[in-house]
Amino acid sequence: MPINGLYEIVEMEIWEGTDTTALVERARISIKGKKGKLHFIGFDGQMDITEAKDRYLFTWVGNNESYPVSGYGNFTCSGETLTGRIYMHDSYDSSFVAVKMSQTDKQITTVNRSLLIIKAKEPFRDWVASLPGKSKITIRDLNTGCKAYLIPEFEDNRQKDEILHQIHADIFAEKLFQYCIDDIKWPQNRTFALFNRWFEPEFYPVVEDTAGSDIISDVLLENI
């Protein structure tokens, strides 16, 4: 597919008169093969793209500030400009214009990971508050400076649930250990249902690297 690249969305009909690029970060579309990713305002989505006779068609699924959203759309490509319309199921639709970014403009790159943040809920706060010296701890205390987890990319809620089910036990133990190193005091039946009662997962499908340098993990450092 000859349209691979990173495009900045410079116009959107629905936010006419608003500088979308000034809201947090640049609105953009990245395309590689028959897959793409889009970001604008609070929306992040994964695209499946099909080449039709005179245009490109796509479906997309993602999040609007952690709420699941999905839709479809189409666009044409003229030189380095995409012109089309995006539809959100049971919601808005908008025309858009996106211009291919030059190498010097590319301050961010998309990586093949999604992001998970685990927020504490009241039952977890109750358990922490039962520990010596922790009686005054608040939900805000627990959720300030939360750790972020890189997870495999996902395309729908089923995949999100599968990923969380696979890794929840390790995250559960890590959260408990953070406040009590004595595992005898931990809940002994740490089921997935209990995890969901104690914690609120927040998923973000698109992760972009603004640092521009290689990512080095602790494991790699240990092996040097």
Q: Tens of pLDDT along 128-171?
A: 999 999 999 999 999 998 889 999 888 778 888 999 999 999 99
Reading phi first (left if > 0) and then psi (alpha if -120 to 50, else beta), residue 22 is in: alpha
Is 0.75 surpassed by the pTM of this model? no
Cα torsion angle, 96, 102, 107, 108, sign: positive
Q: Are residues 18 and 101 in the same domain?
A: yes
- Reply yes or no on whether the pLDDT at 50 is more than 90: yes
Residue 207 CA to residue 224 CA, distance in Å, equals 27
Q: Are residues 92 and 115 in the same domain?
A: no
Which of 105, 130, 162 is the last residue in one of the domains? 105
Distances (CA, A) of 82 to 2, 208, 211, 222: 12, 22, 27, 46
Residue 131 CA to residue 177 CA, distance in Å, equals 12
Q: Are residues 83 and 17 in the same domain?
A: yes
Higher pLDDT, 220 or 9: 9
Q: Are residues 143 and 198 in the same domain?
A: yes
Q: Are residues 80 and 51 in the same domain?
A: yes
Q: How confident is the model at residue 224 (pLDDT cuts 50, 70, 90)?
A: very low
CATH number, domain containing residue 53: 2.40.160
Dmax over Cα atoms in the chain, in whole Å?
Answer: 68
- State the average pLDDT over residues 14-28: 55
Tell me, what's the pLDDT at 219? Answer: 47
Contact between 189 and 196 under an 8 Å Cβ cutoff? The reply is no
Cα torsion angle, 154, 90, 20, 94, sign: positive
Is residue 134 domain-resident? yes
Q: Are residues 128 and 172 in the same domain?
A: yes
Q: Are residues 62 and 121 in the same domain?
A: no
Q: Are residues 120 and 183 in the same domain?
A: yes
Tell me, what's the pLDDT at 15? Answer: 59
Structural domain count, the chain: 2
Q: Are residues 55 and 147 in the same domain?
A: no
Domain that holds residue 51: 5-105
- State the average pLDDT over residues 34-50: 86
Is residue 42 domain-resident? yes
Tell me, what's the pLDDT at 20? Answer: 45
Is residue 222 domain-resident? no
Average per-residue pLDDT for the chain: 84
Is residue 175 domain-resident? yes
Tell me, what's the pLDDT at 215? Answer: 67
Residue 199 CA to residue 195 CA, distance in Å, equals 6
Reading phi first (left if > 0) and then psi (alpha if -120 to 50, else beta), residue 65 is in: left
pLDDT in tens, 192-217: 999 999 999 998 887 777 665 566 66
Tell me, what's the pLDDT at 22? Answer: 42
Q: Are residues 101 and 115 in the same domain?
A: no
Q: Chain-centre distance of CA 85, in angstroms?
A: 23
pLDDT in tens, 68-92: 889 999 999 998 999 999 998 887 8
Tell me, what's the pLDDT at 17? Answer: 43
Which of 85, 105, 125 is the last residue in one of the domains? 105
Tell me, what's the pLDDT at 218? Answer: 56
Q: Are residues 143 and 194 in the same domain?
A: yes
Task: Name every residue whose Cβ is closer than 8 Å to that of residue 158 and which is 6 or more positions away in sequence.
Answer: none
Residue 93 CA to residue 185 CA, distance in Å, equals 52
Q: Cα angle at 137 between 133 and 138, to 5 degrees?
A: 175
Tell me, what's the pLDDT at 221? Answer: 40
Which of 105, 129, 144 is the last residue in one of the domains? 105
Q: How confident is the model at residue 120 (pLDDT cuts 50, 70, 90)?
A: very high
Reading phi first (left if > 0) and then psi (alpha if -120 to 50, else beta), residue 17 is in: left
Is residue 220 domain-resident? no
Q: How confident is the model at residue 21 (pLDDT cuts 50, 70, 90)?
A: very low
Higher pLDDT, 37 or 67: 37
Is residue 90 domain-resident? yes
Q: Are residues 208 and 115 in the same domain?
A: yes
Tell me, what's the pLDDT at 145? Answer: 85
Is residue 223 domain-resident? no
Is residue 193 domain-resident? yes
